Amino acid sequence: MKDKMAKALLIIGVLFILGSVLVYLQPWQGQVDAETRNWQLTLVGRDGDEKVLSYKDITGLPAYQGKGGFFSTIGIVYGPYDAKGVTLEELCEQVGGIVQGDAVMITAKDGYSTVLDYEQVMGEFITYNSELKEVPHPELKTILMYKQDGKPLADEDGKPFRIAVVSKDQGLLNEGTYWVKWVNKIEVLNKTP
């Protein structure tokens, strides 16, 4: 009887430890959920051509990896993060490309949007250090991020797609207004008169 009890306690103990290890490692974090798998990103070209891409389509495009973070209206700094995604330039190419003078409107699921001019699409931004002093960073890229610090984005970080401004350099920050979360539409605006 005592042996049975001891065995039962031993099993409970093992399960307890296994559970704790699982909660600690959170192996499911690297997986994408159904919402992400079913997300649709609409690309609209400067001539009105439209293309809808899935998460799988996006992650299958050539990827860019860099570092970047942002600060809020009141100066709270988030990041920098290791960011992986597809450059906006590459996404524009998917629907016919972008030319100097054009702009790109980024729209999110929550109704927020921002407009980037051609130079910003190509990565031309004023950048900052952690004290919010203006410091140039080389080779900036504007990307549609789908992995942050090696993991798919959490909902509060804009799951599954967020705009990020990154470079190979360390410590880059820029304004959070450009880091649009929950992106579901990218539209090239033809500004040719």
Interacting residues toward another protein by CB under 8 A: 2-3, 6, 9-10, 12-13, 16-17, 20-21, 23-24, 26, 72-76, 103, 110-115, 117, 126, 128, 132-134, 175, 177, 189, 191
Instruction: Judge whether 118 and 97 are in contact, CB under 8 Å.
Output: no
Q: How far is the CB of 9 from another protein (least distance, A)?
A: 5
Residue 130 CB, shortest distance to another protein, in Å, is 12
Q: Which is nearer to another protein, 78 or 112 (CB)?
A: 112
Minimum distance between the CB of residue 13 and another protein, rounded to whole angstroms?
A: 5
Residue 103 or 166: the one with the smaller Cβ distance to another protein is 103
Whether the CB-CB separation of 176 and 70 falls below 8 Å is answered with: yes
Name the region of 160 (left: φ>0; alpha: ψ -120 to 50; beta: rest). Answer: alpha
CA distance 83 to 25: 21
Minimum distance, C-beta of residue 176 to another protein, in the bound complex (Å): 9
Burial string for 11-26 (b: 16+ CB within 10 Å, else e) reads: eeeeeeeeeeeeeeee
Smallest distance from the beta carbon of 88 to another protein, in angstroms?
15
Sorted by sequence, the CB contacts under 8 Å of residue 147 that are 6+ apart come out as 82, 83, 84, 85, 153
Q: Which is nearer to another protein, 106 or 144 (CB)?
A: 106
Q: Which is nearer to another protein, 40 or 60 (CB)?
A: 40
